[in-house]
Amino acid sequence: MTAFGQNSSEKVLLSGTVVNSVTGLPVRNAQVSLSSGDETHTDAAGAFRFPNLEPGDYDVRAEKTGFTSTEPQRVSVRTSKEESVIQLAPLASIRGRVTDEDREPVEGVTIQALEAGATGEYAPNDAASTATTNDRGEFRIPLLTPGKYLVRASGQASQHIYYGSDQLHGTKEAFASVYFGGARDAGGAAILELQAGTDARADINVTMQPGHTVSGRITNLVPGRVADLQLSSSDTDAGENRNSLELANGRFEITGVLDGRYRLRVWQRSNDNAVLYGDLELVVSGRDVDGIEVTLAGAPTLKGKVRVEGPLDGSKLRVMVSMHAQTLFPSAFHDFSQRAGAGMAGETIEIPDVVPGRYRIAIDIAGDGYVSAAHAGGTDLLAAGEFVFENRAAPELEIVVRTDSGRVSGTVAAADTDAVVLLVPESCNRLPGRGIVQAGAFSVFGLAPGSYRLYAWKRPAGDYTSPQAICELAQGGMAVDVKAGEVTKVQMQKLSEEPK
């Protein structure tokens, strides 16, 4: 919001101090900006000054690397204001040490900090940050936003790419991925709750075991383009093994592989940036596996057809289909984890470069309509929430949109222009409806008929799009019944208690 000008030509001053919200100490060299476009930096004492301002209302914001950016603060400057205080919350960090069963340090271990949602779940491809242990087995992950985290030791990853060299490196020892707290899977992992400015500790112990080597050749490699390998035992295994790839002839070697059943995936981009992909399944049991051959080919395009039903003309509805991978991909190809396509109702929606894996599907409607049915091959997406395809023939999506949607309008007694409302379906089979509270009122449209739970929070409290989070929220909140083609009126006496 720009300043609200006054008739008077007299200028005013806005000054103050930026301080650390935890220590109370001044923050030097922080950038302070106004909604009018004016900017300045704090001095050594954390002080800032904006002289010669027009009297009016301003949104003030401060930010600096290492701190969480502040939400804009509304300041009324009708006369000079010289004692404003802006608090910046310092980011957090996680440090620790990885040791083996003999308490010896383990070097080169990939450590991942995974953001846990309000219900403890995490998105597989959403690692907040990673680090690698040094020769003392130590690691530190800085600049983390306060919140809940899982910490995982994923393996000893080291990518070596050679151009014509026949020298390959690796290790014969390995360990199974393990979370801080000793669990092998996310469900039993210990959760670190980071407060602003904290430096949390997460020591991890691993059990080293004899490893084997998987080797072979990749065909159809594009010369001069980087490729990536992943050998994973499950959708949640990052496949952090030491591997070497000789781009000149496609020879590869993966070392430190434990006994088990694996899926080998290979990615590369062509000269026109199209995705090339190849995979196969293999079993490692007591010995090395050699002679493997993987052929790269183009990744398939997922297509979807949209049909509109209902009493109103839905030709103007825009449909967006988003795919969120539940399969971990290597860091260099994380952009595979979220794919999207959009089109008008009645059109064919296309999402290119979809590699085989497990995906959660989200379908959004821009307009007053809702998804009444959605299928991918033989999978009912509203019932299952996700689908899996294992070959290059991606299933076709069939989406039915209805125009007899319901609407929920209401008021919140504790009016707050920053408040967001969430309508969570009790059936857990679709995304929540969202709206914004303005002057104490809100309206959410495009809702499927059924029973919902209503929440109103001062600001979005996390990403509540996973099936687990939606189903947990469906157990609380304010009950609301939505009927086809009707408006349901509600009144909330106060904002909802935000999940911890």
The pair of three-digit structure tokens given for residue 488, joined into one six-digit string: 């349901």
Q: How far is CA 313 from CA 116, 368, 406, in A?
A: 42, 10, 16
Q: Is 453 helix (H, G, I), strand (E, B) or coil?
A: strand
One-letter amino acid at 336 equals F
CATH topology of domain 302-402: Immunoglobulin-like (2.60.40)
CATH topology of domain 92-297: Immunoglobulin-like (2.60.40)
- What is the C-alpha R_g of the chain? 27
Angle at 470 between CA 465 and CA 471, to 5 degrees: 150
Residue whose entry in the numeric block shows the structure tokens 């899926």: 263
Q: What is the pLDDT of residue 409?
A: 96
Residues 6+ apart with CB under 8 A from 185: 179, 236
Residue whose entry in the numeric block shows the structure tokens 């190849």: 278
Contact 195, 291 (CB under 8 A): no
CATH topology of domain 12-90: Immunoglobulin-like (2.60.40)
Rounded-to-integer distance, Cα 399 and Cα 417, Å: 35
Contact 333, 420 (CB under 8 A): no
Rounded-to-integer distance, Cα 360 and Cα 295, Å: 27
DSSP 384: H
CB neighbours of residue 69 within 10 Å: 12
Closest by Cα among 377, 472, 381 to 430: 381
Q: What is the pLDDT of residue 73?
A: 87
Residue pLDDT, tens place only, 440-477? 899 999 999 999 999 988 765 556 777 778 888 899 99
pTM for the model stands at 0.73
| Strand pairing class (12-20; 47-53) | antiparallel
Domain boundaries, the chain: 12-90, 92-297, 302-402, 406-492
Q: What is the pLDDT of residue 65?
A: 93
Q: What is the pLDDT of residue 401?
A: 94
Residues of the chain scoring pLDDT < 50: 1-8, 118-122, 159-171
The pair of three-digit structure tokens given for residue 229, joined into one six-digit string: 């390998």
One DSSP character per residue, 241-262 reads EEEEEETTTTEEEEEEEPSEEE
Beta strands in 22-77 (DSSP E): 31-34, 39-41, 47-53, 56-63, 67-68, 73-77
One DSSP character per residue, 131-144 reads EE--TTSEEEEEEE
Do domains 92-297 and 302-402 share one topology? The answer is yes
CA 451 from centroid of its chain's CA atoms = 28
Query: Could you tell me how many helices (H) and strands (E) the chain has, helices first?
Result: 2, 43
| Domain 406-492 coded CATH 3.30.70.330 | no
Residue pLDDT, tens place only, 51-76? 999 999 999 999 999 999 878 888 99
DSSP H stretches of helix in 121-187: none
